[in-house]
């Protein structure tokens, strides 16, 4: 930001430069980083792109680690090609194969490659995880170990409930469902390359390397662990639309979405009945709901519109839901016993998940109860 705004970066840059040189000295790295740092500063002064600037810390760290261990350094910009929409281009995998010697060990920086314009382009999210998955696919790895600060995936957020447990095995589909429903897990974009090559992913803990972690595979024996997780999102509003034979009016469904979209309302979930349609949107918009009701009735002939705020969405995920209703029955029974009402339940929209809406005020209590049932 300083360089792009024609401001002097010398003071800030000197701190960064000196820090890297200090690290190199402490690690007894004899290779001179000064020329590398001079080149990076020159690019910064030449009003480099934000992506270039953001990627240089990763680049320099990978460089230091490769020098310390005596491994080969392979710059991601040399082999990873990223398309206009952030997608990994097919030639990436051929470039990696052509630049990797199976007899050598490599250190590669994560979360960036080259964009269509030939300049550095970073991934939108999950960068280093994506990079590891890309290399695993390109090299046809037996397993992709992803080292992080937790011992794998948990059934739910441990910060919400002490009943959260570590999951030994989960499928790609289950992981994707959990991410979609709000869980902070290994992201789908990072899973995709390994999934395409049917490569097992093992999430491991750097601070506890002997722990098994979580294995992500294409399939698993769900009879032992029918439900592997729950995830949730809070602060939703339900918009209920009522009109006779609404289910048969496909064009009206699209028109309703268009009306809501024009107000900036993004539909996160929807549940349909014969004459009823429920949309769940984030309750964070300054909307004149009475005016919206009038417009929907006048423009689309809607008979009734009602709203309910203070709603949370909870998803229950597991391959075991495809073969038995029992896990879900136990969960519903436990919630009922605790006095938690279900606003809506969608079971069957996805074969491996059930989604329910409850009062937002009951969210943490419900998560704790469900976690204890599937523990």
Structural domain boundaries in the chain: 3-140, 146-217, 229-374
Angle at 153 between CA 151 and CA 157, to 5 degrees: 105
The two domains 3-140 and 229-374 share their CATH topology (first three levels equal): no
Secondary structure (DSSP) of 136-161? HHHTT-SEEEEEESSSS-BSS-TTT-
Residue 2: pLDDT above 60? no
pLDDT of residue 139: 97
Q: In CATH, which of 3.40.50.1580, 3.90.550.10, 3.30.2130.10, 3.10.180.10 is domain 229-374?
A: 3.30.2130.10
Q: Are 202 and 170 in contact (CB under 8 A)?
A: no
Q: Yes or no: is domain 3-140 CATH 1.20.1300.10?
A: no
- Residue 118 exposed, middle or buried by CB count within 10 Å (0-12, 13-18, 19+): exposed
Q: Are 190 and 133 in contact (CB under 8 A)?
A: yes
Q: The pTM is what?
A: 0.85
Residue 306: pLDDT above 90? yes
Give the pLDDT confidence of 245-270 residue by residue, as tens digits. 998 888 999 999 999 999 999 998 88
Q: CA-to-CA distance for 202 and 215, rounded, in angstroms?
A: 4
pLDDT of residue 55: 95
Q: Are 353 and 177 in contact (CB under 8 A)?
A: yes
Averaged over 160-184, what is the pLDDT? Answer: 91
Please name which of 181, 199, 209 lies closest in space to residue 133, comparing C-alpha atoms. 199
Average pLDDT, the chain: 92
pLDDT of residue 185: 80
First vs last C-alpha separation in the chain: 48
Q: Are 241 and 265 in contact (CB under 8 A)?
A: no
Any idea what DSSP says for residue 44?
A: H
């Amino acid at each position: 930001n300083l360089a792009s705004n024609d401001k002097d970066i010398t003071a800030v840059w000197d701190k960064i430069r000196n820090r890297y040189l200090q690290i190199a000295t402490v690690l007894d790295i004899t290779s001179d980083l000064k020329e590398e740092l001079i080149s990076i500063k020159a690019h910064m002064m030449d009003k480099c792109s934000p992506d270039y600037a953001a990627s240089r810390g990763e680049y320099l760290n990978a460089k230091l680690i490769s020098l310390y261990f005596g491994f080969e350094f392979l710059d991601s910009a040399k082999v990873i090609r990223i398309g206009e929409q952030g997608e990994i281009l097919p030639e990436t995998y051929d470039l990696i194969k052509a630049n990797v010697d199976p007899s050598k060990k490599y250190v590669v920086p994560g979360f960036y490659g080259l964009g269509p314009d030939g300049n550095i382009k970073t991934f939108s999210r999950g960068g280093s995880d994506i990079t590891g998955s890309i290399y695993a696919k390109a090299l046809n790895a037996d397993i992709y170990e992803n080292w992080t600060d937790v011992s794998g995936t948990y059934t739910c957020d441990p910060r919400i409930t002490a009943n959260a447990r570590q999951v030994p095995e989960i499928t790609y589909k289950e992981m994707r469902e959990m991410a979609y429903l709000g869980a902070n897990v290994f992201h789908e974009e990072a899973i995709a390359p390994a999934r395409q090559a049917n490569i097992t992913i093992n999430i491991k803990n750097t601070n506890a390397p002997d722990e098994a972690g979580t294995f992500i595979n294409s399939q698993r024996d769900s009879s032992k662990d029918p439900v592997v997780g729950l995830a949730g999102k809070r602060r939703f509003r339900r918009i209920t639309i009522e009109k006779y034979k609404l289910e048969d009016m496909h064009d009206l469904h699209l028109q309703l979405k268009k009306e809501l979209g024009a107000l900036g309302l993004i539909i996160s979930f929807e549940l349909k009945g014969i004459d009823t349609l429920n949309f769940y949107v984030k309750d964070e918009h300054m909307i004149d709901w009475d005016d919206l009701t009038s417009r929907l009735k006048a423009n689309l002939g809607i008979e009734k519109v009602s709203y309910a705020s203070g709603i949370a969405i909870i998803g229950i995920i597991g391959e075991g839901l495809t073969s038995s209703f029992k896990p879900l029955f136990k969960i519903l029974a436990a919630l009922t016993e605790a006095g938690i009402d279900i606003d809506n339940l969608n079971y069957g929209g996805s074969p491996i998940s059930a989604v329910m809406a409850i009062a937002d005020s009951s969210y943490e209590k419900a998560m704790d109860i469900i976690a204890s049932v599937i523990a």
